[in-house]
Structures are given as C-alpha cells and as structure tokens.
C-alpha cells in the first residue's frame, strides 16, 4: 500500500482539525426526529475522554438522556420556568449551582454579551420589549432546541475549581468529535439554575455538581436561527508575544 509523505499527512490533518474547529458553532435548532445512535455517542465519548486533567484525575461524569428520560426533564424544567415567568413561584427558588457569570459586568465583556443577544434576537426578528417572544426563545433552551439527545456534565463536589477546567476541555472534545461525525451541539449553562430538578431526574448522587448541559443532534439546515455565526476577536486583542 502506498503511503503519503509525512508533510502531506500533516497538512491534511491540520486542515481537517482546523476545519472541524472553525465549523463548530452553537446550534439552536435541531431535527427533532433524526435520532443519534448510542454507538455514535459512545464513540464520541471514548474520544472525548482523552482530554487532559490535572494529575489524570478525570473528574468528569456524563449523563445521556433521550426518549422518556429526556421528556421528563424537559417537562419539569419547562414548567418550573413557566411558573417563574407567570409569577407563581419566585426565581430565587432555583439558584445556579455555581456563579458562571460575574455579579458586576464590565467592558468589553458586557458589550460582547449584548452584541450576542441582539444578534440572536435579530435573526429571530424579536424586537426590544417583546418579552413574550424573548421568554419563548428562552424556554427553547430547556427543550434542548429540539435535539433528540441531551448531555449533562457533572463533577464531584469535593473537587476544586481545576475540575471544572478539566471537564470543560472534555466538553470541547465532545463538541469537536460530534462535529467531525456530522453532528452539532449547543453547550447550555442555562440548565444550572434548575440543577436540583436535573440531578434528581438523573438519580445522581448528592455529591455531584451540575456543570453544564448540552444539546446533541443534527442541525436543522432550514432554521433561520442557525444562520447566526458569532464573531471572534482578532488575536491582536487577546495575545501578547514576549521576546
């Protein structure tokens, strides 16, 4: 069998990896009826667990929900969010498992956050002040944007902040391995507010903390929301080379 020169193999690998990274984005509309096989998910997780972790602690745990288990979580969390929206319960009843965002926003982060929000509402034709439409879009988070599979990532409470760095790298591997197989994802911190419900439905031990949820499936190519491609800052803004 003829083998390609090393420099050609390297170039092909580089292009494939770069293409996978550059083509990944947060999908917010999936083909609900197009299933993802268990074997494909297992392959993705087997690759993803090669992520680095401090002293090889591998602190991640992943719960995969589909079918009835997915439906139960979607129903309970959507109802909780609706009860909050309708004033039936106080939002303080559901506190996030850890502080993902700062208590006090400053530039440039608040500017990028606002730009992202209005870009999303722009493609969805949601205008300022249309609270009902905004609430409906928020609720789609808790329907996994119609993705047939949901993933929940947890770590043991005994672990330090480094474990969240470790599991974040593992999650990135999940997203890239999925993309390489023609699947798409959307990481979702929104689930953290309802971690009590989620962990209960997962029958997870009380020693675990929910870090993030993730939608997994095949992107709906006709959904206008999937036209949104968030920009990235130039490396000039975040890098500094020292001689």
User: Where do the structural domains in the chain lie, given as residue ranges?
Assistant: 28-98+141-220
Three-state SS for 175-234 is HHHHHHCCCEEEEEHHHHHHHHHHHHHHCCCCCEEEEEEEEEECECCCCHHHHCCCCCCC
The pLDDT of residue 130 is 92
Sheet containing 149-156: give its strands across: 61-65, 149-156, 208-217, 184-188
Inter-residue contact 147 to 64 (CB < 8 Å): no
Burial class (CB in 10 A: 0-12, 13-18, 19+), 155: buried
The pLDDT of residue 54 is 97
The pLDDT of residue 10 is 85
The pLDDT of residue 97 is 87
The pLDDT of residue 2 is 56
The model's pTM is: 0.94
Q: Residue 45: helix, strand or coil by DSSP?
A: helix
Residue with tokens 């020292």: 242
The tens digit of pLDDT for each residue in 174-189 reads 999 999 999 999 999 9
Question: Which CATH architecture does the domain made up of 28-98+141-220 adopt?
Answer: 3-Layer(aba) Sandwich (3.40)
Low-confidence ranges of the chain (pLDDT < 70): 1-8
> Would strands 208-217 and 184-188 be described as parallel, antiparallel, or unpaired?
antiparallel
Inter-residue contact 69 to 150 (CB < 8 Å): no
119 Cα distance to chain centroid: 18
The pLDDT of residue 231 is 94
């Amino acid at each position: 069998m003829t083998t390609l020169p090393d420099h050609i193999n390297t170039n092909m690998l580089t292009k494939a990896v770069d293409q996978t990274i550059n083509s990944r984005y947060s999908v917010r509309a999936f083909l609900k009826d197009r299933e993802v096989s268990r074997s494909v998910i297992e392959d993705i997780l087997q690759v993803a667990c090669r992520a680095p972790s401090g002293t090889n602690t591998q602190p991640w745990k992943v719960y995969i929900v589909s079918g009835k288990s997915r439906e139960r979580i979607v129903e309970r969390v959507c109802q909780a969010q609706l009860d909050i929206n309708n004033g039936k319960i106080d939002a303080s009843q559901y506190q996030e498992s850890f502080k993902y965002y700062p208590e006090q926003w400053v530039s440039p982060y608040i500017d990028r956050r606002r730009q992202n929000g209005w870009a999303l509402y722009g493609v969805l034709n949601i205008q300022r002040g249309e609270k009902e439409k905004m609430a409906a879009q928020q609720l789609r988070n808790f329907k996994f944007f119609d993705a047939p599979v949901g993933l929940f990532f947890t770590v043991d409470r005994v672990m330090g902040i480094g474990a969240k760095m470790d599991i974040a790298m593992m999650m990135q591997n999940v997203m890239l391995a999925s993309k390489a197989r023609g699947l798409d994802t959307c990481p979702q911190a929104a689930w953290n507010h309802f971690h009590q419900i989620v962990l209960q439905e997962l029958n997870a031990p009380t020693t675990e903390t929910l870090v993030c949820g993730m939608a997994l499936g095949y992107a709906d190519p006709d959904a206008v929301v999937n036209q949104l491609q968030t920009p990235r800052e130039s490396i000039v803004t975040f890098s500094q080379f020292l001689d």
